[in-house]
Amino acid sequence: MSRAHQQRSAHRDRRPHWHRPLAGVAALAAAMAGLSGLGAPAATAAIAGVSARAATAAAPVLVSTGKPTTASSIEASGFDAAKAVDANASTRWASAEGVDPQWIRIDLGSAHTISRVKLNWEAAYGKTYKIQTSNDGTNWTDVYSTSAGNGATDDLTVTGTGRYVRMHGTARGTAYGYSLWEFEVYGSPVSGGSDTTAPTAPGSLRATATTSNSVSLAWNAATDNVGVTGYDVYRGATRVGTAAGTSYTDTGLTASTGYGYTVKARDAAGNTSAASNALSVTTQPASGSGPAVPFGSHTRPYTAGTLKPTGAQGTLDQKTIDYYTHWKSAFVRQNCGNGWYQVISPDADHPYVAEAQGYGMVIAATMAGADPDAKKIFDGLTKWTIDHPSSVNPDLLAAEQDTACRSVNGGDGATDGDMDVAYGLLLADKQWGSAGTYNYKALAIKHINAIKKDELNPSTNLLKLGDWSSSGDQYYYITRTSDWMVDHFRAFRTATGDSAWDTVRTAHQNQITNLQASYAPNTGLLPDFVVNTNSTPKPAPGQVLEDPNDGAYWWNACRTPWRIADDAVTSGDAKSLAAARKVNTWIKAKTGGDPNKIAIGYKLDGTQISAGSEAAYFAPFALAAMTDPGSQAWLDALWNKMLAAPIDTSSYFSASIQLQVMITASGNHWVP
- The residues that are catalytic are 355, 416
Of the candidates 263, 256, 266, the residue with the CA atom closest to the CA atom of residue 109? 266
Residues 6+ away with beta carbon under 8 Å from 235:
250, 259, 260, 261
What span, in angstroms and rounded, lies between the C-alpha atoms of 196 and 189?
15
Of the candidates 537, 527, 414, the residue with the CA atom closest to the CA atom of residue 477? 537
What H or E segment, with its residue span, contains residue 220? Answer: strand 214-220
| Beta bridge mates, 251 | 214
Of the candidates 185, 184, 180, 46, the residue with the CA atom closest to the CA atom of residue 112? 185
Query: Which residue type sits at 129?
Result: Y
What span, in angstroms and rounded, lies between the C-alpha atoms of 580 and 562?
9
Phi (first) and psi of residue 248, to 5 degrees: -165, 145
Q: Are 385 and 397 in contact (CB under 8 A)?
A: yes
| Beta bridge mates, 531 | 538
Residues in the chain, total = 672
End-to-end CA distance of the chain: 26
Q: Three-state SS string across 358-409, please?
A: HHHHHHHHHCECCECCHHHHHHHHHHHHHHCECCCCCCCEECEECCCCCECC
Q: Are 210 and 290 in contact (CB under 8 A)?
A: yes
What span, in angstroms and rounded, lies between the C-alpha atoms of 321 and 172?
41
Of the candidates 204, 288, 307, 212, the residue with the CA atom closest to the CA atom of residue 246? 204
- The reply to whether omega before 539 is within 30° of 0 (cis) is no
Q: Helix, strand, or coil here: 24? A: helix
What span, in angstroms and rounded, lies between the C-alpha atoms of 197 and 227?
10
Residues 6+ away with beta carbon under 8 Å from 234:
240, 261, 262, 263, 264, 275
Q: Are 212 and 290 in contact (CB under 8 A)?
A: yes
What span, in angstroms and rounded, lies between the C-alpha atoms of 655 and 58?
66
410 Ramachandran zone, left/alpha/beta (phi>0; psi -120 to 50): left
Distances in Å between the alpha carbon of 447 and those of 211, 346, 393?
28, 27, 10
Burial (CB count <10 Å: 0-12, 13-18, 19+), residue 131: buried
Q: Quick one: angle between helices 415-432 and 440-454, nearest 10?
A: 160
